[in-house]
């Protein structure tokens, strides 16, 4: 049986580590913004680049830039079973 790691802020996720969103700690406005980008609970992603005060994320739908303030409000769990598709462009 696989163990479940404790959720961490997306801003602390290590480079190229596949993870899943488990919680969004923001109001309706933030949740709607993330939904519009295709990010919701259960979405797979990984950090492909850290740039200035933000991150570039790889998701099933492509790449998304996100500031650290928003990334602090998104909780993820490392998902060792997820495919890492960062090399697909």
What is the per-residue pLDDT across 43-86, written as a single tens digit (0 to 9) for each?
Answer: 999 999 998 899 999 998 899 999 999 999 999 999 877 665 54
Residue 2 has pLDDT above 90, yes or no: no
Q: What are the extents of the domains in the chain?
A: 8-78
**Strand-by-strand arrangement of the 8-9 sheet:** 8-9, 74-78, 19-24, 44-51, 54-59, 62-67
pTM flag (> 0.75) = yes
What pLDDT score does 85 carry? 53
Q: What is the CATH number of domain 8-78?
A: 2.30.30.90
- Tens of pLDDT, residue by residue over 15-47, are 999 999 999 999 999 999 999 999 999 999 999
């Amino acid at each position: 049986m696989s163990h479940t790691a404790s959720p961490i802020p997306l801003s602390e996720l290590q480079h190229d580590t596949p993870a899943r969103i488990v919680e969004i700690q923001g109001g309706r406005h933030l949740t709607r913004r993330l939904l519009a980008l295709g990010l919701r609970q259960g979405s797979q992603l990984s950090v492909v680049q850290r740039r200035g005060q933000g991150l570039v994320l790889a998701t099933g739908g492509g790449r998304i830039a996100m500031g650290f303030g928003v990334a602090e409000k998104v909780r993820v769990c490392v998902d060792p079973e997820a495919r890492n598709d960062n090399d697909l462009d």
